[in-house]
A = this chain, B = another copy of it.
Amino acid sequence: MTRRLETFLDSLTQASSLDDLQSSVVRLRDVYEVEHLVYHSVKSTGQQYAALTYDPSWVDHYVAEGFEKIDPVVQGCFQRFTPVDWKRLDWSHKSARTLLGDGITAGLGNQGFSIPIRGPAGQFALFTVNHKASDEQWASFTTEYMHELILAAHYMNERALAMEGSDEIKAGQSLSPRETDALTLLAAGMNRSQAAERLKISEHTLRVYIESARFKLGAANTTHAVANALLRGLICL
């Protein structure tokens, strides 16, 4: 393991606040001598959890324009597991090119490399390196540092999740086997009578499981309960 990564991981383990994460990111950016380094969790509910080196005015502009909804980086990483070079993404959409242009105006480099990371409760985050470079320079940079970046992304996310308190195991929120079965079948698209038939129980009984699961999950309705269970990793198709 390289020294620069060790140093970063040390600074992470000592991090106890978002500001600390921010400092770590800035230092790592300087070590790699790139334009920008960004960690941010993606939530459609609005608020994001981020540590980044972008200019605040760019971030404001990005949020104000609702760019997270059309950003090919966000959308593309959302759909894949592997880290991706920005060049490989689909920039054909008009709004995407607007975003790209605005970004470069705001001081972003033309090259980018983003690593998607997923947490246990459906959390999704991006770890991104951005730089001004030629395609050749960038290819050699990403090839050389990919392993390190993946690890950096992993540990960065680990710290961020720990601060969110999301890595704690939720007590008493586990579902019983039958409740899990019920929600799983509903998530798979069955209605109650089909699911009951599959589980070889009466539809009435199935309903009790669904209600019980809904109660445990604090869900308002079946759809909410299924969504919650999926996000919390309580069921898996």
Residues of A within 8 A of B (CB): 1, 42-45, 69, 76, 78-82, 116, 118-120, 122-124, 147, 150-151, 154, 157-158, 161, 166-167, 169-170, 177, 180, 184, 186-191, 219-224, 226-227, 230-237
Contact = CB atoms under 8 A, between A and B. Distances in A.
B189 A224 contact: yes
Contacts of A189: 219-221, 223-224, 227
A190 B236 contact: no
How many copies of the polypeptide does the oligomer hold? 2
Given A44-B180, A79-B120, A189-B223, 18 more contacts: A43-B236, A44-B184, A44-B235, A45-B237, A69-B180, A76-B169, A78-B120, A78-B236, A81-B158, A82-B158, A116-B120, A118-B118, A150-B150, A187-B224, A187-B227, A188-B227, A222-B223, A231-B237
Contacts of A187: 223-224, 227
Contact of A124 (B151, B169, B233): B233
A116 B157 CA distance: 13
- Chain A contact residues: over half helix, strand or loop, or mixed? loop
A101 to B, nearest CB: 21
A120 B80 contact: yes
Contacts of A167: 80-82
A82 B233 CA distance: 14
A65 to B, nearest CB: 14
A182 to B, nearest CB: 12
